[in-house]
A and B are shown apart, each in its own frame.
Chain A
Amino acid sequence: MTHIPTHLGPRAYRRLLDGTLEEGEAREIARHLERECEVCEAFLATCGEVDALDGQVDGALAALSPGADGHDLEFARIERALRTPPPQRRRAPVLAVAAAVAVAGIAGLVASRIHPTGGGWTGEKGVARAVPLRLRFVVIEGLPARPGVEKGTSGEVVDSSASLQFEVELGRSADVALVRVSAAGAPEPFFRQRLRAGRTSVTVGGSPAAYPLRELAGPQRFVAIAAEGPLDGERIARAAAVLAPPGRLVPELPGLDGLSLDVVEVTVR
């Protein structure tokens, strides 16, 4: 008798996963799935709900190569979230924030992106010497008349008419400096302040501040440097001297001992 292939359907699939499918039918499906079958692959790609097979597949795929390790800052955010009750209302999507900014101006952006924390974070892995640090930015175009805001992505090309608004996130309070370094020319520190743990948008004199890109061209590297203790001008200059693009940033570079770094890069056209 000719074997008629049995394509997967929702019922058989569900029963296969929960273990209620008759053994003979399971064997038949096994034989069928061992061969190429575009119909079944299309079904599996679109069969709706996420289920345990997805977890198993993703586990197998994750084992192909090491992925991005976790870090103290992210784990601290998870711990903070666990300490608070589940939110009644979802956090506003960033696009909505951007839309609001276009209406309300840059001050709205700053207010919406500052997330100070009540106390210091104690979630260190072992005895952490460096301060958990993350640097993010948004690209502001159309200033001053019609400001438009987009989340920035490191590596992107940005028009020289734009400005960058930076946000620093810290695992605990620290002295922070922001420095622009380019392939040519001296590093330019443009912000230095003691910041508390959590997210803080860069302000100057209490007002939101954005870094203008006019008169710049080519790759620009913006570096956040943080230290738990005092971060004086000499230490910043020593660190900035080894940070120029296109060199790779590694903690072993001279002048970076005991400092935390995070970097974003843009190419100005």
Chain B
Amino acid sequence: MSVRPPVTAKILLLPSSRGEEDASCVARALSGERAAFRALYDQHRPGVHRVARAFAALDADDVDDVVQESFVRAFRSLSRLKDPARFGPWVLTIARNRALSRLARRRAGEQLAGDLAREVEALAEDAAAMPETHPEAELALVRRVIAELPDGGEKETVRLFYLEGQLSAREIAMRLGVGKSAITMRLERFRAKVKRRILAEVARLRGEGS
């Protein structure tokens, strides 16, 4: 079964124009235009912030630090981004890496964190190697995954975190009266379902020679 962009998919911004806009901003940022850095930050900060606050073990200050570090690293390495249209996925990847590194550092000291923290250059190459997909179709797919979840704690957690989007994982733990690690696990389990479905689409495109 292939995933086609649905006609009624509600998206925040047309993905093709988003990628083009990012590519233009990256080019202008590389020429030193301050407003372009700001535009990249404004566009992608909500997603970066959401990645960081999905980790319930990170408190609000940790989340702020992850957001800041992610943009600093991305902006410092901008010239190494192979496909500027993929700035968004790239900075989100950096954010996840930063969050995990921070948690690893807390758990096991600097050594493990150093092992975990891949260089942004390597991540930039990864991003460029991915096939072109339809973000609006991916969004529809994510909505389907949510709809298919059985009623219960995981669905409620996903609804609060991703659909309502107001609470952090830590705040959801407090509201639902469950442990922080349980909330992180629920979100990670859901994310793995989404990952499987998106990877299926990547595999389908690869199978077509993309």
Task: Using CB atoms and an 8 Å cutoff, list the residues of chain A in contact with chain B.
Answer: 8, 16-19, 21, 23-24, 26-27, 29-30, 32-34, 37, 40-42, 44-45, 49-70, 74-75, 77-79, 81-82, 86, 90, 93-95, 123, 125, 136, 151, 153-155
Contact = CB atoms under 8 A, between A and B. Distances in A.
B179 interface: no
B176 interface: no
A86 B135 contact: no
Contacts of B209: 23
Given A50-B97, A68-B45, A78 B71 contact: yes
B92 A82 contact: no
B107 to A, nearest CB: 12
A27 B203 contact: yes
Given A49-B118, A155-B174, 11 more contacts: A17-B129, A41-B196, A49-B116, A58-B47, A59-B89, A60-B135, A62-B50, A64-B162, A66-B165, A75-B38, A125-B38
Interface string B127-143: 10111010100110111
Nearest to B87: A55
A23 B204 CA distance: 9
Contacts of A61: 50, 142, 162, 191, 194
A55 B64 contact: no
Contacts of A64: 139, 142-143, 162-163, 165
A42 B163 contact: no
A30 to B, nearest CB: 4
Given A54-B92, A60-B138, A70-B41, A65 B163 contact: yes
Contact of A29 (B12, B34, B188, B203): B203
Nearest to B165: A65
Give the 9 A-B CB pairs with smallest separation, nearest first: A67-B46, A55-B89, A62-B47, A27-B207, A33-B200, A30-B203, A70-B45, A55-B93, A52-B126
A37 B105 CA distance: 32
13 contacts: A41-B196, A54-B92, A58-B51, A58-B89, A58-B95, A61-B142, A61-B191, A65-B162, A65-B163, A65-B164, A68-B50, A74-B64, A75-B41
Contacts of B118: 49-50
Majority DSSP secondary structure for residues of B touching A: helix
A253 B202 CA distance: 50
A45 B135 contact: no
A70 to B, nearest CB: 4
A60 B46 contact: no
Contacts of A27: 203-204, 207
Given A45-B188, A67-B47, A94-B61, A53 B199 contact: yes
Contact of B141 (A60, A67, A86): A60
B41 to A, nearest CB: 5
A55 to B, nearest CB: 3
B130 A17 contact: yes
A37 B75 contact: no
Nearest to B133: A56
A30 B200 contact: yes
B55 interface: no
B193 interface: yes
Contacts of A77: 68
Contacts of A70: 41-42, 45-46
A136 B65 CA distance: 14
